[in-house]
Structure 1
Amino acid sequence: MTPDYALIARQLEALLDTRDWLTNSAQTCAFLMEELADLNWAGFYLQRQPGLLTLGPFQGRPACNPIPFDKGVCGAAARTRTTQRIDDVHAIPDHIACDVASNAELVIPVLSGDYLWGVLDLDSPLPRRFSVDDQAGIERLVALFVSRTDLEL
């Protein structure tokens, strides 16, 4: 059953009560882990230098760091600036396996105008966890995050 993303957006909007990127990204990760079923990791990777993602706030097991744009699902999302919805991460030749329990992944680029601030990465132990509806709903949540946050590092 698809979550009620309109309700989740209203709840997230109430949590994002500051413009601070660190507070808002930490709140967003914690909130998504609580509200979305079957996640084992939710976090941000930040672009602090060209071509490289650095670990930001997250919920879950320790993560891989850094991630170059030419590696893995997060790198592909950053490089192409398009959402990556992967049903089976083990079928991706350059997948970076930070947690062997992860089977599906959804990575959404976080853009402020033309500037790539980073990516939101969601992992699940369930294959095919993320539907088209989940992708659209979480992309709306990322847009809300961007509208409520000063994206300066």
Structure 2
Amino acid sequence: MDRQAHYRELKAEIESIVAGETYVPARYASAACLLAEAFRPRFFWTGFYVVDPQKADELVVGPYQGTLGCLRIPFGKGVCGVCAAEQKTQLVPDVHAFPGHIACDSRSNSEIVVPVFDRDGTLAAVLDVDSTEYDAFDAVDQEGLEAICKILLTA
């Protein structure tokens, strides 16, 4: 099965699992688990950084699969913080060349971070996926992950 088809199947599976679930961390945990399992070992770290309701300009680690994540990331700092500030996907083939990269785990070499919006269009979180491979993510991953993120808080 090609990756586009795999992402379509995962989106349908995630959508059916989270449908009717009102507890947002359960939605994020289910998505992180299914994505990590589907693309292991290419997906080295897969999870969510959630906008902190107490500090609207800061992300706090949410449900994830992988090694220890950074606990907090300010908007505008690192790949996740830039995604949150700009509210657009960041596709980074070499994190070591990314200005201000935050190394939560030195084994990460490439990264894709996708914004997650609530029903009102407000940024709720970012989906962060790291790989130990360089240039591990492309437009297929971006399209597939963006489609999944669109249904996380609307299904």
Same-fold status (TM-score > 0.5)? yes
How far has the Cα of 1:3 moved from its partner?
Answer: 4.5
Q: Tell me the TM-score normalised to structure 1 length.
A: 0.91
Task: Give the equivalent residue in structure 1 for 2:85.
Answer: 79
Task: Give the equivalent residue in structure 2 for 1:151.
Answer: none
How far has the Cα of 1:14 moved from its partner?
Answer: 2.5
Q: Summarize the alignment of residues 22-61 of structure 1 with structure 2, pairs less than 5 Å apart.
A: 22-37=25-40, 38-48=42-52, 49-61=55-67
What's the % identity of the aligned pairs? 36
**Aligned residue identity for 1:41:** W
- Out of 90, 98, 101, the position equivalent to 2:96 is 90
Matches of 1:114 and 1:27, distance apart in 2: 22
Retained in 1: the 8 A contact 2:76–2:84? no
Residue 111 in structure 1 maps to residue 117 in structure 2: yes
Q: Tell me the TM-score normalised to structure 2 length.
A: 0.90
Q: Secondary structure at the match of 1:129?
A: coil
Matches of 1:35 and 1:43, distance apart in 2: 14
Number of positions where the alignment pairs a residue of Structure 1 with one of Structure 2: 148
- Out of 4, 8, 11, the position equivalent to 1:9 is 11
Structure 1 residue runs of 4 or more that deviate by more than 4 Å after TM superposition: none
How far has the Cα of 1:10 moved from its partner?
Answer: 1.5
Task: Give the equivalent residue in structure 1 for 2:130.
Answer: 123
Q: Secondary structure at the match of 1:147?
A: coil
Task: Provide the aligned C-alpha RMSD in A.
Answer: 1.3
**Aligned residue identity for 1:12:** I
How far has the Cα of 1:123 moved from its partner?
Answer: 0.5
Q: Secondary structure at the match of 2:3?
A: coil
